[in-house]
A and B are shown apart, each in its own frame.
Chain A
Amino acid sequence: MSGARKPQCVVVGAGPAGLGAALAAREAGLRDVMLVERDFELGGILPQCIHDGFGSMVFGQVLTGPQYAQRYIDRVEKAGVEVKLNTMVLEMAPDRRMTLVNSREGIYDIEPASIVLAMGCRERTRHQVMIPGYRPAGVICAGAAQRDINIDGLMPGRRVVILGSGDIGLIMARRFTLEGAEVEGVYELMDHPGGLTRNVVQCLHDYDIPLHLSHTVAFIHGRKRVEAVTVAAVDGNLKPIKESERLVPCDALVLSVGLIPENELSKQAGVELDPVTSGPVVDERMETSVEGIFACGNVVSVFDLVDWVTRTAETAGRAAAEYVLEGRKRGAVVRVNPGRNVKFVVPQVVGSLDRGADFYFRVEHPERAVRAMVLAGGGEVYSRKAKMVRPPEMVHAGIDAVAGSGKVLDVTVEVVEEEGGASKKKKRGRR
């Protein structure tokens, strides 16, 4: 297929990650950037996120989702990125050949010089968290409900129980309430909320919606449409306690039980995935294990703030441009070790720190008065105090250029207790 078009860069997915990456690749000098989106509009999930809280880092302003998206859509269009809407990537091979389909052009192959994966994530469903019961209408994921209400103006429930206190669940508790539905309560399996503290306050407390920690939905009742759910407290193994079961009449169960990066195409292309994040293993330039294929945003790891998504997108887009224009390739890499109280780190590998790097990580358990540290080759290259770290909140460590880092053999990211200067030095000294 020598007749196939050969764009310099194809970005898959036009949410915040794809928009940011396409723009960055274009601004870094690529003439021919193609942005492929399977939906009918740009912006990904942002157009349905009509609440505010977006952009404080990138724009220094608090915007709604549509506003945040529109700023990027305007810039992408102005920059001359080729946008393909209603277009789906059917296949992607390790040699970067892709097969696309849309109504206008049919099926066709392209052979891009570089690819940026920006497919985002999807919601975990009822059966992935194994909720027993019937299978009636009215069991819906929070993001899907958000789309129904905010885009289509349709109510998937009148009397709602929400399972999961992730940010989308919390925001939807408020959203349903504002639209005239009744939210009976939010139930959370863990003993702490899954979402940002500000959302617990602004979405639940302000509207008197009860949050039941250490609870789950043990059964869904209703053959045709949800009629009720059985809720129950859970024990130390997160199993429902029979004696605590309570029947809650409702007509919808809204699930906010986690997000999974959408990596079906990445797998086709042979990209190595990280079992902890479920996203590609990337280096500090957001390049995956397959040369010339980069990734950014929620397809790499689910971020809690869109601003971080944009940051990774800019890194990926720039790196894709450098790969095409300058032939800059990933050198030998070292693993990044998740140290004390760190669940995972993106990037998972580092080729070089000579231009600096952004590390994003989540802690395993909440902790107060700590210090986030990055150690490279035994030396400390980043250290910052934090009053509080919590698993739902991604921690960012942006390190400056480290001269001579080509010889780095070992990178560790960790959170240590902040006990005053002396002990800090001691800890470092051990490294």
Chain B
Amino acid sequence: MNAVKLPSRAGLVVVGGGVIGCSIAREASRYTPDIVVLEKESDVSCGTSKANNAEVHSGIGEDAGTLKQKLNVRGNQLYDGFVQGLGVELKRQGLLIVVTQRTVPAGGTSGLGEDERMDILTRKIPEGIIAYGENAGIKGLRALTREEVFRTEPNVTREAVAGVFDPTYGLISPYKLTIALAEHAVINGARVFTDTEVTGFRVEDGEVKAVITGRGEIATSLVVNAAGVFADDVADMAGAGGFVIHPRKGASLLFDRQVTAEYVHSSVAEFRMPGTRTTQSKGGGAMPTAEGNLQLGPTAIETGDKYDTSISAEEIEEIFERFHYLLPDFPRDALISAFSGVRAPTEEEDFVIGASEAVRGFVNVAGIQSPGLASAPAIAEMVLGILQDLGLPRDARGDFNPVRPAPPKFSELSHAERNRLIREDPRWGHVICRCETVTEKEVVNAIHGIVPATNMDAVKRRTRTGMGRCQGGFCHDRVAAILARELGIPITAVTKDGEGSPIFLGFAKDFLGGEAV
């Protein structure tokens, strides 16, 4: 797909075009334009970054003393500045932690009197959560009474007895953020190469000299390994490994925005007593997405397969069952999509960030699982420091452009603005995706964007075509036709998400010819 020649050398090569790789590239571009990002998939944000719950956590769910918690708390605090100028919205909708009757069950084995039990539920647990959070540096936590819980979220279970509200929790579209970061880096001189798989490194005298790809070699003395679930494989290629990623799948359910827009306003999770966690997931939650759909999940299942983005019947059922208690009346029928992402945990369940001791110039940024999205700004800050110690320029550029212009979104504009755009270009008045009201011009803009969208999913992530309740039934052929026209390729070469995923298998007339079968 991508026929552009790779450069023969670069000051910094970032392996992996996910939110971490693109964050680092964008931050580094404040100091140097001489950056290359390599991504083996057909677009940035194709791995873990595109399939998570879009939450900017506060850090309250992480274990004290971990690098994860430290970078999460710091990342959350940096976020507003981090997204400034990117044209991607961060919503600080907050997290409601609900304490319910079943948190400490009545009678039975606990041997607690009812007054004592209620005191634990309504006072001690909220106080404990708040103290834990404040100790980690999370500000603004407050205890809620039962009535305040319902006032905040009227749809939660009547079994709720108290709650804690964490106002720092945010939501951001992870793929829009990643695309914006990549584009901002490109605006400032970086180059992003998709469909480009790293196959090895040239290491001489314990120093990295070049990155080898399926499309040629790039000489460099600085490499960041931000390859997500493949970070261990990439590190091993350079002899800079020593950690193992064991892929863990997380599935989420997504509901029709029209039905669920006001169903929950914040992220909502049920508090569970420490030690009662049955999986490595923090437990997941119910939350709106950055764009207003209700989302439930995720699960946490060890998979062994780094490409396992399937979702099983058991997972779907598990999610429904898990949230049935917390949100008894949620609109199950409004399900429009279910997806899985693969997380990249290490054995230690903590981030692995640092310069390799074995290979000079090689920096691992690995084991980045949840809360990786929330930690991205702090991870980028930390990695930048490491890179500068290894030779990246320390002086900020005078010519850094602080703004990445976001292409206008028809559905978010006023009528006056829409009319102005339609007068400029009639394609602004031609609605292609009816469910999400996406116009032809937006599709064209995405295809010719700074990081171009070259397939259906890439267009979808940028414009929301096919993301609505009909899931592309009415618009897939139209988007495919626009892609073919704008890219100058036959429509049969249009793919869902890169090589091997054609939308159409041929023209009808060729099928009957015989040889096509």
Contact = CB atoms under 8 A, between A and B. Distances in A.
Contacts of B422: 101, 103, 106-107
Nearest to A128: B335
Interface string A93-107: 000000101111111
Given A144-B474, A223-B307, A225-B500, A106 B423 contact: yes
A147 B430 CA distance: 20
A106 B423 CA distance: 7
A340 interface: no
Of residues B336, B426, B501, which shows the largest number of chain A Cβ atoms within 10 Å of its Cβ? B501
A64 B343 CA distance: 52
A317 interface: no
B470 A132 contact: no
B311 A154 contact: no
A137 B495 contact: yes
A157 B333 CA distance: 29
Interface stretch (A19-27, A118-126, A383-391, A415-423): A118-126
B508 interface: yes
A106 B473 contact: no
B470 A125 contact: yes
Contacts of B415: 99, 107
Contact of B431 (A38, A123, A132, A156): A38
Nearest to B506: A155
Contact of B501 (A132, A180, A225, A267): A225
A130 B431 contact: no
A86 B430 contact: yes
A229 to B, nearest CB: 12
B508 A155 contact: yes
Contact of A88 (B338, B434, B502, B511): B434
A251 B516 CA distance: 14
A149 interface: yes
B257 to A, nearest CB: 10
A153 B501 CA distance: 19
Contact of B419 (A107, A136, A251, A264): A107
B132 interface: no
Contacts of B430: 86, 102-103
Contacts of B62: none
Interface residues of A, number: 55
Contacts of B504: 148, 154-156
A153 B504 CA distance: 10
A147 B503 CA distance: 14
Contacts of A207: none
B313 A125 contact: no
B479 to A, nearest CB: 12
A251 B502 CA distance: 11
A181 interface: yes
B258 interface: yes
B512 A158 contact: no
A132 B313 contact: yes
A101 B418 CA distance: 9
A370 B418 CA distance: 58
Contacts of B426: 103-104
A143 interface: yes
Contacts of B506: 154-155, 158
B489 interface: no
Given A103-B422, A122-B473, A133 B311 contact: yes
Contacts of A144: 472-474, 476-477
A425 B505 CA distance: 62
B84 interface: no
Nearest to B503: A137
Given A104-B426, A128-B335, A154 B517 contact: no
A135 interface: yes
Given A103-B422, A106-B419, A180-B512, A123 B517 contact: no
Interface in B485-514: 491-492, 495-509, 511-514
A206 interface: no
Contacts of A300: none
Contacts of A38: 431, 434
Interface string B414-453: 0100110011001111110010010000000000000000
**What are the nearest 4 A-B pairs in CB distance?**
A180-B511, A103-B426, A103-B429, A137-B496
10 contacts: A88-B437, A99-B415, A101-B431, A103-B422, A107-B415, A107-B419, A107-B422, A132-B313, A137-B495, A158-B516
Interface of B: 258, 307, 309-313, 315-316, 333, 335-339, 415, 418-419, 422-423, 426-431, 434, 437, 456, 469-474, 476-477, 481, 491-492, 495-509, 511-514, 516-517
Given A101-B418, A155-B511, 15 more contacts: A38-B431, A101-B429, A102-B430, A107-B418, A127-B471, A130-B313, A132-B312, A154-B507, A156-B505, A180-B511, A180-B516, A220-B310, A225-B496, A240-B313, A252-B505
